[in-house]
Structure 1
């Protein structure tokens, strides 16, 4: 894990959710000042340094530039594109900083002190609201405020007059029961205490970890009254802690009765008339390759040689949309969740298990309905023909990755020739992608071995083998081919793209300077030069002391991928068109892509998706994807802390993975667990923080603790509740 330090205001977890686009906010700045040219830093300042990270601002500016709203001038300065008129919303935004007492709608961005800032697309600056004037609003809530200037002409201040929409109504914590009343102690800080009447504890016992919801508010809006909706268990129990992590990220723990009823009513058998409408791949060698513990098999591969010597490769994807009708309770729940969540010990599925693990899952020796991308490929991995459509398949073998890899290594085993053919083609596809500028960032993932109670007893580092990459390469082929097909239709059909913008220019310049200190030359004048230089550097640093430092900083310079109707390509993969088509069991964007593609293939005249509605769905699924990633990371962190809590006093080798002005983080080499060394605990010298070098340097002895450096540490303490680990340098 790598640390990216930002200058955001001190906020509690989950407080940075903003329903409105940062791009929209930045565009208002330019439309209000159409003759001005701004650099990244000036834009960041006007957008709100306390509300947005620098990399978010750079990514948004680059997006606006790609879309033609603003133009890049010399010296990386930006100006409103000529001919773009000032929008009415921007004119309103220009008025929002005056003494007018009009109502402004925005999102609560709360600080750890309980005070807040209201982030609004109708205001150039965030509007300060003291805790006493929040009227019970929580972090992330959508509110209406009455704003005016503070005394002395300082930044505007407001008061909440209406809560438009609650961002969160359920919370996890511990119940403490006295003789006549109950207390709720939340897992995360809340600006108000939740009142929990004894009549609403619903069987909870003293000390239980519970999930509560806000049932009602007192008449003055100051006292939230809660009720227990689920008893999760006791603090420290594996099940209780894992469920808490999921619930705190906004994912439901159970499916509504209506959703479960719809899922259970789906027939197991396939209608013969449906089979007759599809291209039949039964009889063609077809199999799946997945993790050993997987149950939701999204994809299968078929392979056969054609009479002309070419290969027909079928990428077959579970046909979820055949079973999930648009607008149904199942569909609405899938959209709400937007993704499955993969924790250390379980999966919280996007759809009920009847679909995800049974009806839709491409299990071996069963007929299954698929939506397929079929390619005719030469021996040199050139695609000469492609076909998309609904199919019927019958997988004859389920491999897990280690099994498939052993067959690739030995040349012996089930379907060895077919596996070897797929692997050879995948390697050639990969080589073409890398030659085109795809960036190959290696990343380590960990897998915990748990005992029967969920306690971690061993940590293993996952290794990417050819069998993993084989599947990855054919999924990439299907995803980019579907995207290219849809994005080049003359009808200009609104579509869901998986986009990845250009890297952060300022970070790249800093990275180039630091790489030069180690003797590596980088060219960053064009996107092509950047990808070529990065790939060359990533190869050159392998096995060298500076490897971890430079790999870490290279990753930090990259933008975040997201879903959007605006196609700007996928920079990291070097694809001009890219989408997600291959995992509809666990990703809702793939469901949207399946529907749009099928509608177009069936009758291109009936594709009438509203692009604004589709963009909102893209934004929602992007947000939920990040929440799922946060939950997954937190579950890993919890198990890391739990694992090391049994090893206090032990020493480990590690690498410095992050540096801040109060200390540095160390990632242990054997198990990838990460903890903090507070610089105050390093007493052999007085150290100063060199921010540009990502290092602490001793005044007297010159000793350095730099990002990427190897260090030996001792485990001093752990805190499961806070998810923290403290080390001392040995």
Structure 2
């Protein structure tokens, strides 16, 4: 047991009362020679929020002092929530008046005050442990003697004050990067200096560049990383190939989108007797090439994820790895991590499994469209072209449907949102929006990856090794009650709302609304009522998938948590168990990795969505005056949003509802005319015309053409 664990165990003792540093030195009988080291450990533990020092210099653990440690998730309206480090603790509501100068994603300590409206915990921020917003991207607003930067990120609630001498030549309306030089205080905005001018707002390329800068990621890899990657051999050493399971004779395929360049998973299937099959999921062995703590690993950890913007990809790993050495290209020997799973084909029950290091050679690169044409449309030309794998594809389809059936029986929630893809010309201008349909091909890969992630997570859980889980907590009761109240307007309700709601109860709501006009709206509101999935070093299960054990194992090319758990798994299957020092190192390292990866994932997701929304508005620039049938998709106090058939949302401002005086009823998610009783509510179909397209504000304004 390390010194940190001994201190925590000591403080967790019921008889412990907060002690000074000197009293702790005496209690642990620390010699003079070790005093400095012990005090440094205390300082580090305090910085990490594991212990707290009171104003009178006494140390204790947060939970015994009515304190909670975590990260701030701030809302654009000013209030926020503490997302606790301890995933079993409840989120804590923090009013705007209790934020006390903290910014979005800052690591904080909160004192619990009580409950908000008798429903959820509320608190106030008493200390900021770590500042995360070193630089901010936004629009420069100039005045005679100073300027302000209005952040692009709506979670950044403050405008940043910029003294005139620190404007660096920025002018009104330019998109800039500002570095924070003074953090916000009560009644005082943060201060900063302009370190980069990206260009004029609305200019081609500037907005996408702003999105990239907001992620704080360079587009290029550092030179030392490039040099390191250039030195990696493209040959697989004979000794490495010999020590692995040789699966090069096993028939397997990759199945991806038409434009995919990195293939990190391949699948195989074999019939075993009359009723059983052996499913193989083979994942690129990125960990062989990216060694823990080397310069390439440090860069991958910092990036944490690949980011898929509408017009480009910012990869986690350099192209030599992502598109070459670690990409499972057909006809080439590749190193892999393989999970072989035996299933009873009649019941879909997992009967046995094995996790191993392998060397593989993929037979075919298939696409979702080709698999759909083979399995659904029975395309004779494609069936002939891939005749050596047709029986396997049909076997995979059979297993997929059984696994999917079992998953929904278990209570897994499936949001069936229609997907679209933007088509850009060579200059990056949007020229079309295409609907993307999920066929058996996408579902096949989805089911196999979900089962692989579950199998790996459960195996490592019962081995009791430090691990990274993909977790999804139960929704807050107050959010479920609000959801139940909302769907009651449409004649639906959630079963078992008064007890711990099972995911199957929410799944039943989705099944009941399928095909109804309000389906999209209820799907959206239900999704918003749920918590975000994230990475954690402690397992609490995955509510949305109704899974007790879940991880991310299947995409190490583009997700750092996957890469990290590959390393852990390789150590476990080769050594049988982890030694004590390795376990202690991982226990210290993994919370930092899970926290950072969750933050980067959210930022990447926001950036991907923002880049799509930008191009969607750009697509509508020449559509002013055109009329569409749309669905009311969102209600706000200033108007309502309408989703058009091409998936683009526009705003009907309340000031444009001119036939009556309309009042917004939040509880009913509706605008109701005071005189006429005309009602516009979530899910209603309306006819609208495009009134104005503002690319700078990324907004499409609509007007109603009829009731």
TM-score relative to the length of structure 2: 0.77
Q: Helix, strand or coil for the counterpart of 2:591?
A: helix
Counterpart contact for 1:500–1:569, Cα < 8 Å: yes
- CA distance change for structure 1 residues 528 and 575 in 2, over 3 Å: closer, same or farther? farther
Q: Does 1:477 align with 2:451?
A: yes
Distance in 2 between the 1:708 and 1:591 partners? 42
Equivalent position of 1:486 in the other structure: 460
Contact kept? 2:246, 2:360, Cα under 8 Å: yes
The residue that corresponds to 2:231 in the other structure is 265
1:191 aligned onto 2:160:
yes
CA contact (8 A) 2:343 2:352 kept: yes
1:501 correspondence with 2:491: no
Aligned to 1:317: 283
Q: CA RMSD in A?
A: 4.0
Q: Secondary structure at the match of 2:376?
A: helix
What corresponds to 2:424 in structure 1? Answer: 450
Structure 2 runs not aligned, ≥5 long: 1-46, 53-59, 93-97, 114-122, 153-157, 183-188
Matches of 1:164 and 1:521, distance apart in 2: 43
Question: Which of these residues, 632, 638, 648, is aligned with residue 656 of structure 1?
Answer: 632
Q: Once the 2 structures are TM-superposed, how far is the Cα of residue 556 of structure 1 from its aligned partner?
A: 1.9
2:300 matched residue in structure 1: 334
The structure-2 alpha-carbon separation of the partners of 1:195 and 1:349, relative to structure 1 and needing over 3 Å to count, comes to: farther
2:581 is the alignment partner of 1:605: no
Aligned residue among 557, 567, 573 for 1:585: 557
CA distance in 2, matches of 1:352, 1:196: 39
Q: Is the 8 A contact 2:265 2:282 kept in 1?
A: yes
The answer to whether structure 1 residue 633 and structure 2 residue 613 are counterparts is no
Contact 2:107 2:130 in 1 (8 A): no
Residue 503 of structure 2 corresponds to which residue in structure 1? 531
8 Å contact from structure 2 (residues 107, 131) kept in 1: no
SS of the residue aligned with 2:596?
A: helix
Matches within 5 A, 1:617-632: 617-632=593-608
- Partners of 1:599 and 1:701 in 2: how far apart? 71
Distance 1:33 1:184 in 2: 38
More moved, 464-473 vs 524-533: 524-533
- Asked whether the 8 Å contact 1:107–1:118 carries over to 2, the reply is no
CA positional deviation for 1:463: 1.3
> 2:364 & 2:654 partners in 1: Cα distance?
55
DSSP 3-state at the match of 2:667: coil
**Could you tell me how far 1:495 is from its partner in structure 2?**
1.1
* Closer, same or farther: CA 529–655 of 1 in aligned 2, 3 Å: same
Counterpart of 1:563 in 2: which secondary structure?
strand
Distance in 2 (CA, whole Å) between partners of 1:460 and 1:515 is 31
Q: 1:659 to 1:184 in 2, by over 3 A?
A: closer
CA positional deviation for 1:273: 1.1
Task: Sort the Cα spacing of 1:232 and 1:243 in 2 relative to 1 into closer, same or farther, 3 A.
Answer: same
| Local SS of the residue matching 1:301 | strand
| Per-residue Cα deviation, 1:118-176 (whole angstroms, up to 9, x for no partner) | 98416568xxxxxxxxxxxxxxxxxxxxxxxxxxxxx9999x9x998663247477899
TM-score (norm 1): 0.75
How far does residue 642 in structure 1 lie from its aligned partner after superposition?
Answer: 0.2
How many corresponding residue pairs? 607
Deviations 1:511-538 (A, max 9, x none): 2233334333431247886433322222
Match of 1:251 in 2: 217
Q: Which residue of the other structure, out of 94, 106, 109, is the alignment partner of 2:102? A: 109
* Residue pair 1:209, 1:240 contacting (<8 A) in 2 also: no
Q: Quick one: which of 358, 364, 382 aligns to 2:349? A: 382
Q: Distance in 2 between matches of 1:183 and 1:446?
A: 40
Contact 1:268 1:359 in 2 (8 A): yes
After TM superposition, give the deviation of residue 236 of structure 1 in Å.
4.6
Q: CA deviation at 1:308?
A: 6.5
1:366 aligns with 2:394: no
Report the 3-state secondary structure (helix = DSSP H, G, I; strand = E; otherwise coil) of the residue aligned with 2:668: coil
Structure-2 change in CA distance of 1:473 and 1:223 (3 Å): closer
- Please say if 1:343 is aligned against 2:300: no
1: distance between equivalents of 2:132 and 2:194?
A: 15
CA contact (8 A) 1:23 1:60 kept: no
Given the superposition, is the C-alpha separation of residues 702 and 224 from structure 1 closer, same or farther in structure 2, using an over 3 Å criterion?
A: closer
1:581-623 deviation per Cα after TM superposition (whole angstroms, max 9, x unaligned) = 0001111110111111111112213341442431121111001
For residues 372 and 408 of structure 1, the distance between their equivalents in structure 2, rounded to whole angstroms, comes to 26
1:192 match: secondary structure: strand
Structure 1, residues 79-135: CA drift from partner, whole Å, max 9, x if none? xxxxxxxxxxxxxxxxxx9xxxxxxxx984369xxxxx998416568xxxxxxxxxx
The range that moved more, 438-447 or 468-477, is 438-447
What's the CA shift string for 1:21-44, capped at 9, x where partnerless?
Answer: 9999xx99974469xxxxxxxxx9
Distance in 2 separating the partners of 1:512 and 1:246: 39
2:590 paired residue among 599, 608, 614: 614
**Distance between the aligned counterparts of 1:614 and 1:185, measured in 2?**
36
- Matching residue of 1:52: 80
1:665 matched residue in structure 2? 641
Q: Does 1:545 align with 2:526?
A: no
Q: Identify if the C-alpha distance between structure 1 residues 589 and 649 changes in structure 2 by more than 3 Å, giving closer, same or farther.
A: same
The CA deviation at 1:378 is 2.4
The equivalent of 1:722 in structure 2 is 697
Shift in Å at residue 716 of structure 1? 1.4
Rounded to whole Å, the distance in 1 between the matches of 2:592 and 2:370 is: 42
Q: In the alignment, does 2:397 pair up with 1:410?
A: no
Matching residue within 249, 257, 267 for 1:291: 257
CA deviation after TM superposition for structure 1 residue 410, in Å? 3.2
Q: Do the aligned partners of residues 20 and 543 (structure 1) sit closer, same or farther apart at CA in structure 2, a change above 3 Å counting? A: farther
Worse-matched range after superposition: 715-724 or 627-636: 715-724
CA contact (8 A) 1:450 1:456 kept: yes
Between the aligned partners of 2:643 and 2:48, the Cα distance in structure 1 is 36
Are the equivalent residues in 2 in contact too, given 1:238–1:455 (CA < 8 A)? no
Distance in 2 of aligned mates of 1:300 and 1:443: 26
Given the superposition, is the C-alpha separation of residues 311 and 21 from structure 1 closer, same or farther in structure 2, using an over 3 Å criterion? farther
| Structure 1 unaligned spans of 5+ | 1-18, 35-43, 71-96, 98-105, 112-116, 126-154, 177-181
